[in-house]
Amino acid sequence: MLFNLFKRNKGYVDLSADKFREALITDSNFVVLDVRTSEEFKAGHIKDARKADFLSGEFAAKVDTMDKEKTYYVYCRSGARSAMACKQLTKAGFTKVFNLSGGYSSWLR
């Protein structure tokens, strides 16, 4: 599985859009987390994604309620906010965290 890819210095793994898609097909215990703004989310998002705007202050509160046993696939527009969100998740004790490299923009290509 993808878990052997984790780099302990980061705590999460960056995935290309193709690998991200593949993981969503093969994983069965996951959450897709969209950390963009409400406006960005409304303009389009990955199917079944949960919104948790990283910049709004809602993100920290959501992290406290999230199941640490699940795998989290996190994305934003370009990959920068989601990388910060992934860092916050790993600091909070989440161990299965993946970031969509290039963000939603790469997903659409």
Neighbours of 52 (CB within 10 A): 21
Predicted confidence band of residue 57 (pLDDT cuts 50, 70, 90): confident
Q: Could you report the per-residue pLDDT of 62-90, keeping only the tens digit for each?
A: 999 999 999 999 999 999 999 999 999 99
Topology given in CATH for the domain delimited by 11-108:
Oxidized Rhodanese; domain 1 (3.40.250)
Find where tokens 């998740």 sit. 89
Q: Are 12 and 86 contacting, i.e. CB atoms less than 8 angstroms apart?
A: yes
Neighbours of 69 (CB within 10 A): 9
Q: Could you give phi then psi for residue 79, rounded to 5 degrees?
A: 110, -10
Predicted confidence band of residue 12 (pLDDT cuts 50, 70, 90): very high
Angstrom distance (rounded) from CA 48 to CA 73:
12
